[in-house]
Chain A
Amino acid sequence: MAVAEREHAAVEVVDLATTSLRELNQRLHDLVRTPGPSHWRIVNPSGGHAVACGLDAEIEVDIDGHVGYYCAGMNKLATVRVHGNASTGIAENLMSGRVEVDGNVSQSAGATGRGGLLVVHGNASSRCGISMKGIDIVVGGSVGHMSAFMAQTGCLVVCGDAGEALGDSIYEARLYVRGSVASLGADCVEKEMGDEHVAQVRELLDAAGIEAEAGEFRRYGSARQLYNFKIDNVGAY
C-alpha cells in the first residue's frame, strides 16, 4: 500500500449533515481515555457552532467548510484546521496545540487563549486576541478594532493592518504589526524592534507557514502607566 493510500485509509470522516454535532464532539472527547483515529476529517459543518470544541488529545482534525461560533475552543494538544471561514471566538481559550484557518475569522479570535498557536491566513475582525494570556496568534491579513484588548501575555503578529484602539489597556503581550495601525488604545505604545524581536517574529512566521519579512514589522506594547495607582490621580476617583 502506498503511503498516500495508507494515510487516506486512516482518516476518520464525519459528515455533519448526517451526524449530530454532539455525537461528533463526544467521539472526539472519548479519545482522552480510549485511543482511536489520529486523523479526522469533518465535512458539511455548515456554520455549526462549537465544532471540535474541548479536544484533549494529540490528533489532527481537518474541517472542510465554514464553521460557526467557538470552533476548537479550549483546545489542548490537537491540531485543528478549518478549510473555510470561522465565526466568533475561533480557538477561544486555546490551551495548547494549533488551530489554523484558511479563510477569514470573525470577532474575538483566540480570546483568552493560554497557549498554543492560532494561525489565520485571511483577515480577523474586531477584538482579535482579546484578553490573550499566553497564546500566540499569527494573522496573514489584517485585524479589526480593539484587537489585543487587555492582552496579558503571548504574541499577536499581524502581517496586514490593525484597526482602531490596538492593544487598549494592554499588559505584557507583544504586538507586531507590519502594516498601518489606525490608532493605539490606552496605554499602548510603539516600542523598539530589537534583534530578539525580529527573531521572535521570524520564528512565529515560520511556525505559521506564512512568508513575510520579519524586519518589516513594528512592535507595540504596554507603557505600563495603568499598572499602579498614582497619588497624583487621587482627585479623579
Chain B
Amino acid sequence: MCGIVGLFAKSPQIEQRLGGHLEAMLVQMSSRGPDSAGVAVYRDPAPTGSSKLTLYSADPAERWGAVRDGLCDAFAVCAEPAVRASHAVFVVDADASDAEGWVRANRPDLRVMSAGRVIEIYKETGLPEEFARAFALSDFQGTHALGHTRMATESRVTTEGSHPFSTGYDLCLVHNGSLSNHNRLRESLRREGIEFQTENDTEVAAGYLAWRLREGASLEQALEGCLEDLDGFYTFAVGTADGFAVLRDPIACKPAVLAETDDWVAMSSEWRAIAVLPGAADARAWEPEPGVVYAWEKAFV
C-alpha cells in the first residue's frame, strides 16, 4: 500500500501554515502506511553560494556541535544546526557537492538525507502521528512539501528505507507501488556511477531519475523515461526546488487524486488527505490520467 501526499502553496496563508496542513494530510494516510513516515519540505533557501544539508544520525546522543565544528573548519560556516529528533539541518558556505563530500569523507556514519539549497528531508520509522510530533512538523513554513506513509513490502522497515528518497540536489521522490525490475536496474545504474544505500526499490527509481537528469534530461523527460524503463506499479510524486510533479504508471492500479483551489494544489493517494485542507469542499478535484506527467512550478523562482 503506502500513502502519498503533496501540497503546493499558492498563497502566503498556506505557506505560513504549510507544516500544519502537511501533518493533517499525513495523519489521514496512517492506515495506508503505519510503518514509517517522511516528508520533504521546501523552505528557507540558503543564501546564494551556500547550500543546505539534512543529516541523519542513528545515535540518539549525536553531538551535532562537533559536526558543525568540522564543517566550520572545512568551510566558512558557523551557524548552529537546526536539530529535529534524529535529524539536523546545516547551512554550509559551500556548494552542495563539496559539503556532501565532506560528510561522506569525514563522517561516513551520518546519512545525508538531502542536499541542495531549499530542500529538507525528515523520515523515521513509526506511525505518522508520532513522526509529526517528534519532528514538530506543524512548525514548518514553506512553499511546498511532499510526504509519505509507508507500508513496507520490498525491503525492511528502517529509517533509511523510508521515503522520501533524495534524487539529486533539491530533488526527492515518494512512491506508492512496487517495482519488479529494480535489482537489474540498480546494477546498470551502479555502472553509471549512481550510488545506492539500501535494497529498496524506490531508491532505484530515485537513482534512475538522478541519472537521467545528470545526462541532461528535463524532469519531464526523466519521468517519461520511467514509463519505458521501469517495470511495476507506481504513483510517483517528485519534489523540485520550485514545484512538484506527479506520474502514474500506464496500468494505474495505484491511486492518486489531485485538487486545486486559488490557495493550493494538492495531491494524495486518497481524498481523505485532501479533505482536511481549507476550502477542499469547493476545490476542483480530478484523477490524474495514467502515464501522464503533471507538474506545478513556482512562478517566481
Chain A contacts to B: CB under 8 angstroms: 46-48, 65-66, 68-69, 85, 87-88, 104, 106-107, 125-126, 144-145
Closest 6 CB pairs of A and B: A47-B271, A47-B272, A46-B275, A47-B275, A66-B271, A125-B287
In the complex, the chain A residue whose C-beta lies closest to that of B271 is A47
Question: Contact between A65 and B286 (Cβ–Cβ < 8 Å)?
Answer: no
Interface contact tally, CB-CB below 8 A: 43
**Of listed B252, B272, B275, B287, residue having the most chain A CB within 10 A:** B287
In the complex, the chain A residue whose C-beta lies closest to that of B250 is A145
Interface residues of B in 229-265 (CB under 8 A from A): 252, 255, 257
Question: Contact between A104 and B286 (Cβ–Cβ < 8 Å)?
Answer: yes
Residues on A with beta carbons closer than 8 Å to the beta carbon of B275: 46-47, 65-66
B270 at the interface (CB under 8 A from A): yes
Complex: A106 Cα to B290 Cα, angstroms = 12
Residues on A with beta carbons closer than 8 Å to the beta carbon of B252: 107, 125-126, 144-145
B39 at the interface (CB under 8 A from A): no
Complex: A106 Cα to B285 Cα, angstroms = 12
Question: Contact between A87 and B285 (Cβ–Cβ < 8 Å)?
Answer: no
Question: Contact between B285 and A85 (Cβ–Cβ < 8 Å)?
Answer: yes
Q: Can you list 24 contacts pairing A with B, beta carbon distance less than 8 Å?
A: A46-B271, A46-B272, A46-B276, A47-B271, A47-B272, A47-B274, A48-B272, A65-B275, A65-B281, A66-B275, A68-B272, A85-B271, A87-B255, A87-B271, A88-B255, A104-B285, A104-B286, A104-B287, A106-B257, A106-B287, A125-B252, A144-B252, A144-B290, A145-B252
Complex: A145 Cα to B257 Cα, angstroms = 17
Residues on B with beta carbons closer than 8 Å to the beta carbon of A106: 255, 257, 287
A sample of 9 more A-B contacts (CB under 8 A), given A66-B271, A66-B275, is A46-B272, A47-B270, A65-B281, A68-B271, A87-B257, A87-B270, A88-B255, A125-B252, A144-B290
Complex: A127 Cα to B287 Cα, angstroms = 14
Complex: A66 Cα to B286 Cα, angstroms = 12
Residues on A with beta carbons closer than 8 Å to the beta carbon of B272: 46-48, 68
